[in-house]
Structure 1
Amino acid sequence: MADYFEDVPLVVTTASYERAQRKRYKRNVAISIGLVALAIVVIILVVSLSSNGNANQIPQVQKAVSLRLEASGDDSSGNNTKIRKSPIVRVKQGRLQGAILKSRKGRNYYSFFNIPYGKPPIKELRFENPEPAGRWKERIYDATKVKTWCVNGDKTKENAITGSEDCLHVHVSTVKLPSRRNKTLVPVMVYIYGGAFKSGYASRFQPHYFMDEDIVVVLIEFRSGVFGHLNTGDGVIGGNLSLKDQSLALKWVRDNIQAFGGNPNQVVLFGNSAGSISVHAHLLSEMSRGLFHGAISQSGVSLGPNMPDTFLNNPGSIARRFANVVRPGIAWGLTGETVPTNEDRSKMFFKDKPINLMRNGDLTKVPWIVGVNSAEEFYDAYELVQNKTAVAILNQNWTTLILEDKLGLLPDDDLVDDEIRQLYFNDSDKITREDRYGLTNLLSDRKYLHPCRTAGMLHSKHSPVYFYYFNKESNFSLHDDKKYDFPPPYGAGHGDDLQYLFNYDRYPEVTLTDERMEFSEDMIKIWVSFAYNLAPDPMGLEPWQPIQESQDGLIWYQMNDKPLRKNIEPFTARMKFWDRITEQMNLYG
């Protein structure tokens, strides 16, 4: 899922010859990308012209946006109603005006879209660390509607490359603007979206569920795919640009959020999936220290098989990868994994491996909520046993498909294989379709549950950590197409918690009469209570205690229907197995 890993210094050189080589190489890479981008634009135009105007293949929010590498983008809000404009707000870059919108319960709130926090990362700034945005030229900057987002690809849509390189923007929503009569400031919640660091954009997450509470919500647009994670491994292009973009956005929040009624001393980060990993990354980075005061990670931390473990020894291979891209899939064909580099230490996002930073206590010591969904990997597991043919392939290629590819284990360790079969499959030598739950648990434990549990335990030595286990199963899932003909229950799949927090275009909206409404409202209140008190309020029950270990296992709060329940984890034996294996095999670095 994640593509950034580590930028630990390997070799630092300062010879003038090498500097000249770097400049020349960087210029050549930029030219290569420009040529490829131009070719892709032509391809997209040809495809568009040959599709007989079939505009239904791409969501309306994307229709007006194409790949324009140095443009600011068209209006893509899909909103044909007359815009009600907000009062004018003044920030350090100048004055701006947003729109007046309605919350879920009909409350007026103000949204300001596409506010620049960084200079456009184009031309000589492409693949460079972000720089703060300067003053805008407009007398009053128009922030009334969504303009664009960062270039990315959506692998679920054909030819769906959208966005612009001029994209280092934030979207701010607030219920109350400060005035002479009311100078009260409220907490700020900064959301970092997921998408495997390859796709997605912030503006698709509409925050109007949150706007029934007194809170400020900030959404960050940041570089992804090759533009956010290319790392040549030789210091020319250092990587982790998406995380550095986010850190710069947090500095903008610190310096400007008071103008929107937000308290710069009450900032909480939260994110899902790759966004959850980003939140944890900021806890580990000196670059973001002091910029936030609490954190919520929903399904992901900076550990586990989501992290790449190799780096580019041959920067020339990058050029070959560019040359081989001849389809409109650049954002997926070029993942640009972030890797160890000899970047100037002062510009690094990570100063050491994440596991070392946690073990040494070199982290931001703030309260942290961290949790997982009950069936994170059901879509992957079900696909592996979807029919008899798939099951046969799985059993024939078990070592390669599961032990190596999915779990990242050594292929010749028979003892580990035996333990896995005993723990997850009742000691069976053959996997069947009925093993879908065991397979789901196996993949979810390795990728999400054990990394989150490990990170939480390490952080809890220095600051309060609150565990939750989300098992609210909805009628709607991001992965409904992966359920095949299996009967319920399915559990809560990866990302299924998002429908309760945002009006997100991959789920039906949760309206006042929706059966999901009560749970959505409760979850919003718990998250907002954390922003206010840096301790989650479990809706009238006994206080939500930080991590505590009993004789039988760790205590987790189960997020399902009311009431929220405190449970001893039922998977301690599985976690102890992974404790031992990750240590023996050095799986966390």
Structure 2
Amino acid sequence: MSNKTFLYLLTIFQMVLAIEDPVVELPNGKILGRQATTYTNTPYYAFQKIPYAAPPVGELRFKAPQPADPWDGILNTTYLDVSCYQGGLESDSEDCLFVNVYTPTLPTDNQNASLPVMLFIHGGAFIEGWSLDYQPDLFIDNEVILVTINYRLGVFGFLSTGDEVVPGNNGLKDQRLAIQWTHENVHLFGGDPEQITIFGESAGSASVAYQLLDQSSEGLFRAAILESGSFLSPWAYQRNARRIAFETAGVLNSTFSTSEDSNALLEFLQSVSADDLDAAAQQYTATVSTPWDNDVSQGLVYAPVIEVKNPDAFITKKMYGLLQAGNILKVPVIMGINSEENLLFNQDPVALQSTLEAWDNNLDLIVPNDMQITDSQQHADMAKSIRDIYTNGEPFGTRLGDGVRYSTDNTFSRPVTKHAELASAFTEIYFYQFSYDGLPGGISIHYDGAESVGHAEELSYLFCVSAMGCSFSDFTESDTVTSQRLIKLWTNFAKYQNPTPEVSELFQNITWSKLSVENGDFLYLDINEQLEIKNHIKAEVIQKWNNLYKSLNFTDFDTY
């Protein structure tokens, strides 16, 4: 064999090795990734289970996250097998703070492709979900890097004693550190750190909204997408965190049912096993109502809080006031809702009927706690006024569609549209409603008088999370086109900070208008089988809700 032939074969071997076994050198050490292909056979590189923080165990439990320690050798990041604690999954672990990077290309010869980056924060009511559920195929095919993350959930991520001992919001602080890690390291994966868009759905969307309040993140990302959630959503904030912390500890040790010693609580909860603590949190949660049960106006049990001032504080003032004053990161935002969000939580007509009967028997349940009404007569009058919006004075009774509409508007439509209205005074907002009722969405229930697209249905068109995966061969042409439109709108926004930068047949030559409410308009993009710019989303209902809030004669809200 000639030297020339040997060198040629050696070069080919090295190229194949580089493709099959990509190694990236991070400041903390080297990592090994893997090659994969999308459903359209587009090659990409996957790096999973990269530590972005030190394991939050022992004395770091209930503390703000710390940067990951360096490692020796080459760390295997070709798979993800760990979720943050969420109720007894085999994959549950406290050592769960990992980031995944999926990239179409890697830098070569000191040349960086400088691709746009989209960092996704998963939902799950702050108590469940993990990054492995969200696959990168459609993003890779549109030439953007996808980053997904794990963050602490439930009692581990959102316990708070309401003081400096356990201030709370550690799940949000995990997210912030993951965003910072991405900004500092994504160039090593072919990404442009100045073109990062963060986005999320449900609790992930509320989390993105909270990240927009964090002034220390200025410059870490340049745009955001909020799918069905805001810090104004009533479920996205917990007013009674201290009581919940002690009652959770009381499941394991009854002395904490009457204790007020935060330091003793911290020391005790740091000493118990993660399994026992998780089980106690599950047991406690099962004993209290949730927003998806009768008490729809109260926050999720373990959720973000307003912290006392402390060195690691994430938020110390009410969200509504911060937004109203413009104390947000002024980056362009896409935000919106699905047409009937709470279909997801009301797919059993018998259970829904039971809920409506509970509301009729105790109408006070339908009044949002953020209205802060203490007078019993005023509270009762407000309850009737809210029901009147949906039933014209009649009991909810068997009006299942009206009950779902109330539930959707109270938990999603009203707070998200109010967020958009207030934010539009300070930054560019593109508002949407996802109204396309296709097979990939996975919700088939329908109630007379209600819309048809439930919570999280849009995710199937972005991440292939349906049972069919990314293959739309068994779906209709409209299903496929809707997926193509949605992913193109989102990735256009990441690339150009404009979802419709040019006229396109895919978008039926529609230009998505920025939201402006100065002249009484509320223009939004309705994403259905046909795209259409519409005005005044859920107009009559939203306006009636706003009038009820105005009648309270104060604006010192937290949620809305």
TM-score class, shorter-chain normalisation, is: 0.7 to 0.9
Provide the residue aligned with 2:491 in structure 1. 528
Counterparts of 1:161-560 in structure 2 under 5 Å? 162-180=91-109, 183-306=112-235, 307-312=237-242, 316-323=246-253, 329-330=279-280, 332-333=282-283, 335-344=301-310, 346-380=311-345, 383=348, 392-400=357-365, 402-403=366-367, 412=377, 413-425=379-391, 427-433=392-398, 435-477=399-441, 483=445, 491-504=452-465, 507-513=467-473, 514-515=475-476, 516-537=479-500, 539=507, 541-549=509-517, 553-560=521-528
Q: SS of the counterpart of 1:524?
A: helix
Q: SS of the counterpart of 1:423?
A: helix
Q: SS of the counterpart of 1:141?
A: strand
Q: SS of the counterpart of 2:488?
A: helix
Is the CA contact (8 Å cut-off) linking 1:266 and 1:531 kept in structure 2? yes
CA distance in 2, matches of 1:555, 1:161: 46
Of 263-272 and 86-95, deviating more is 86-95
Provide the residue aligned with 1:147 in structure 2. 81
Of 294-303 and 444-453, deviating more is 444-453
| Percent of aligned pairs with the same amino acid | 29
Q: SS of the counterpart of 2:195?
A: strand
Give the structure, 1 or 2, with the largest relative contact order (CA under 8 Å, sep 6 or more): 1
CA deviation after TM superposition for structure 1 residue 422, in Å:
3.4
Amino acid at match of 1:320: G
CA distance in 1, matches of 2:112, 2:467: 37
Provide the residue aligned with 1:92 in structure 2. 27
Structure 2 CA distance for partners of 1:488 and 1:521, relative to 1, 3 Å: farther
Aligned length: 492
Amino acid at match of 2:453: A
CA deviation after TM superposition for structure 1 residue 465, in Å:
0.4
CA distance in 2, matches of 1:511, 1:409: 51
CA deviation after TM superposition for structure 1 residue 468, in Å:
0.2
Structure 2 CA distance for partners of 1:264 and 1:570, relative to 1, 3 Å: closer
Amino acid at match of 1:187: P
Q: Deviations over 1:349-401 (max 9, x none)?
A: 1132111211221110000011001001124456576587665554333333x
Provide the residue aligned with 1:120 in structure 2. 55
CA distance in 2, matches of 1:261, 1:377: 39
CA distance in 1, matches of 2:516, 2:528: 21
CA distance in 1, matches of 2:328, 2:57: 32
Q: SS of the counterpart of 2:509?
A: coil
Is the CA contact (8 Å cut-off) linking 1:152 and 1:162 kept in structure 2? no
Structure 2 CA distance for partners of 1:234 and 1:493, relative to 1, 3 Å: same
Amino acid at match of 2:124: G
Q: Deviations over 1:218-260 (max 9, x none)?
A: 0011111111011112211111001101111111111110011
Task: Give the TM-score of the pair, scaled to structure 1.
Answer: 0.77
Structure 2 CA distance for partners of 1:554 and 1:337, relative to 1, 3 Å: closer
CA distance in 2, matches of 1:125, 1:392: 46
CA deviation after TM superposition for structure 1 residue 333, in Å:
3.7
CA distance in 1, matches of 2:27, 2:173: 21
CA deviation after TM superposition for structure 1 residue 332, in Å:
3.2
Unpaired runs of at least 5, structure 2:
1-18, 255-274, 285-300
CA deviation after TM superposition for structure 1 residue 91, in Å:
1.5
Structure 2 CA distance for partners of 1:314 and 1:119, relative to 1, 3 Å: closer
CA distance in 2, matches of 1:315, 1:391: 31
Of 517-526 and 260-269, deviating more is 517-526
Q: Deviations over 1:64-85 (max 9, x none)?
A: xxxxxxxxxxxxxxxxxxxx83
CA deviation after TM superposition for structure 1 residue 429, in Å:
1.9
Amino acid at match of 1:456: A
Q: SS of the counterpart of 2:367?
A: helix
Amino acid at match of 1:217: L
Of 260-269 and 520-529, deviating more is 520-529
Structure 2 CA distance for partners of 1:553 and 1:92, relative to 1, 3 Å: same
Residue number among 44, 51, 64 corresponding to 1:109 in the alignment: 44
Amino acid at match of 2:207: S
CA distance in 1, matches of 2:401, 2:372: 20
CA deviation after TM superposition for structure 1 residue 171, in Å:
0.3
CA distance in 2, matches of 1:390, 1:351: 35
Structure 2 CA distance for partners of 1:314 and 1:113, relative to 1, 3 Å: closer
